[in-house]
Amino acid sequence: MNKKIFDKINLGGIEVNNRIVRSATGELMADSNGYVTDKLINMYDELCQGNIGLIITGLTEVVKGTQTHTLMKIHDDSYIEGLKKLTDSVHEKNNKIVVQLVHHGAQIHGNPDYIPYSPSGVGDEGAAFKPKEISKEEIKKIVEDFGDGALRAKKAGFDGVQIHGAHGYFFSRFLTPYYNRRNDEYGGSIENRILIILEAYENIRSKCGEDFPIFIKMNSSDFAEKDGLTFEDSKKAAKIFAKVGFDAIEISGGNLRGKCSPVRSGIKTTEDEGYHKEYADSIAKEIDIPVILVGGFRSLDVIEEALENTSIEAISMCRPFIREPKLITRWIDGETQKSKCVSCNKCFNPRGTSCIFNKN
């Protein structure tokens, strides 16, 4: 099929106006308890004016008590009202929105006032704390938390959910042999290492129904020297995710231990763009659910080329929309210069994700 960027398509059960996705972007604009604020809704308002096919929210925590600064949370029903305001506002402007569900696990900033879980109690070098190994009972509880969080998302009006299985957060660490040294059914082979994600998927499915879109974002590889998730295992995992019923997979890569960050800096030439393309295409060719590709896209012609010459269904971007929420509108209007984002990564800002070049 000859895929074009501005095709209206069904992307994993969601009717979208084009093949561009806003990849999950932690906003740091909720209040200190993770509730939606006007600032957050206003930021999404701006994105809604930008003709983006599908918006994925920043990572939103499903487990009560996790220290996540001003990121959004969804671990009890009191969050539904604010989240509903957000989805209503997005839908009024004829946009679609999926919430990214996460458990941060041991990937949190600072020194928490509790001991976070990890698959085998292995932490990061230089971290302020050592995580504890999660028990099977605690795994069951987190699986339920994902199902409950997804049901709240559905009640709040989201068009679907995306499980965050990438970048070193809790689920991602089960996929990574360095962190996952378990000897039970959750460790060992890749089939075992994805079990917790499959259980979360089943829990969400049973609570939200057959028609509710469930996406996953995962690493193509951790790009680690040793004991990282390899591409071979990632592909096996993606095939299983497609088979069990996930509606779409977004392919990323890298974590704190990896040689390459998920958020690579210094993307200057067209060759630097789309840095997970070969991996995503190779996976897309072997599964029958849509693959969304993220990582370094900045130019319209590079996106068009990727869509035309691969089996990838949609392209997602993060930093370009921090710099220019209306990038796609600009391209639709015929002003086709590449994104103004210079990939400096100064958009990570505890007072709210923003571009340093956009100061008023």
Ligand X SMILES: Cc1cc2nc3c(=O)[nH]c(=O)nc-3n(C[C@H](O)[C@H](O)[C@H](O)COP(=O)(O)O)c2cc1C
User: Residue from 18, 220, 252, 282 that binds ligand X (CB under 6 A)?
Assistant: 252
Task: Pick the closest to residue 202 from 161, 162, 170, 244 (CA basis).
Answer: 244
Nearer to ligand X by C-beta: 59 or 214?
Answer: 59
Distance between CA atoms of residues 67 and 173, nearest Å: 18
Distance between CA atoms of residues 307 and 291, nearest Å: 11
User: Residue from 18, 172, 203, 353 that binds ligand X (CB under 6 A)?
Assistant: 353
Distance between CA atoms of residues 47 and 300, nearest Å: 18
Burial readout 317-332 (b: 16 or more C-beta within 10 A, e: otherwise): bbbbbbbbbbbbebbe
User: Residue from 19, 73, 104, 164 that binds ligand X (CB under 6 A)?
Assistant: 164
Told to check if 26 binds ligand X by CB under 6 A, we report yes
Q: Is 35 exposed, middle or buried (0-12, 13-18, 19+ CB in 10 A)?
A: middle
Nearer to ligand X by C-beta: 133 or 301?
Answer: 301
Match 């932690």 to its residue by tokens.
26
List the structure tokens of 199.
Answer: 């259980």
Segment contacting ligand X by CB under 6 A, of 43-51, 73-81, 109-117, 288-296: 288-296
Told to check if 228 binds ligand X by CB under 6 A, we report no
Distance between CA atoms of residues 167 and 258, nearest Å: 9
Instruction: List the x/- string, 44-83, binding to ligand X by CB under 6 A.
Output: --------------xx------------------------
User: Residue from 115, 348, 356, 358 that binds ligand X (CB under 6 A)?
Assistant: 348
Least gap, CB of 297 to ligand X (angstroms): 6
Told to check if 295 binds ligand X by CB under 6 A, we report yes
Q: How many residues does the chain have?
A: 360
Told to check if 173 binds ligand X by CB under 6 A, we report no
User: Residue from 24, 196, 218, 229 that binds ligand X (CB under 6 A)?
Assistant: 24
Interface residue list for ligand X (CB under 6 A): 23-26, 58-59, 100, 164, 166-167, 217, 252, 262-263, 294-297, 317-320, 347-348, 353
